[in-house]
Amino acid sequence: MDKEETYSFENFKEEVFNGLALATAKAVAESPGAYYNPFYLYGDDGLGKTHLLRAIENYKSSGFPSWNCIYVTGKDFQQGYVAEISRADADVERFRNTYMDADILLVDDIQDGLDPYTEREYLLIMHALIKAGKQVVVSSCMPPKAPEPEWRPDYATDSLESKAPELAALLDKGTVVNIPFPTIEMIAAHFYRYKELVSTLNQTRTGASNKNY
């Protein structure tokens, strides 16, 4: 089995910091185009964005084979576009139609290979898909728009807006979910809840043991 095929919701390790992302991804997989469209997922590398995108793809492809799910990385999208316009019989419509035929389009790490030309293609394709009720899912290492932290007004977070403002505006209108890097506070809260659960289980076991005497 390919590594991509092992990505599922069942083997995604849910933690206190990624629960919202997991729940939203499941909802998108179960009802594409209905509620969270487009769905924009962002966070640092290694926090599970690719896993969730692939899980959506695998959930729909395995359970509903007639659905056309297209997964592509930002870099591969750009390379495909360049390859098309470099052909002797170049046909940009042919390139666009490849993605416009999708029931679910999943673009992973959209910030890679993003330039004014690919931004235009993304806009044309995504507008058409969303209008047709098809699902668009995008992941990135950066938020669509940069917030201005109150604690440091001079600090500018890198954002998709700085690379592709129109595309960022479109994606920001949808459902935006951040997978934050787990902090000490998050880990501590998770550990505290774990200790509470263990304590409750121990009390239950003790009560059950006492009833046996």
Where are the domains positioned within the chain?
3-182, 183-213
Look-up: residue for tokens 């009833």? 211
Q: Quick check: 68 pLDDT over 80?
A: yes
Each residue's pLDDT tens digit, 11-51 = 988 888 888 999 999 999 999 999 899 999 999 888 899 99
Q: What pLDDT, on a 0 to 100 scale, did the predictor assign at position 167?
A: 96
The hierarchical CATH code for the domain 3-182 is: 3.40.50.300
- Residue 5 banded pLDDT, cuts 50, 70, 90: low
d(CA 164, CA 5): 31
**Listed residue (26, 11, 17, 4) closest to 175, CA to CA:** 26
Q: What is the pLDDT of residues 137-193, one digit of tens each?
A: 999 999 998 776 554 444 446 899 988 999 999 999 999 999 987 766 655 555 555
Mean pLDDT of the chain: 84
Block residue for tokens 């499941």 = 26
Query: CA-CA distance, 126 to 174, in Å (whole number)?
Result: 12
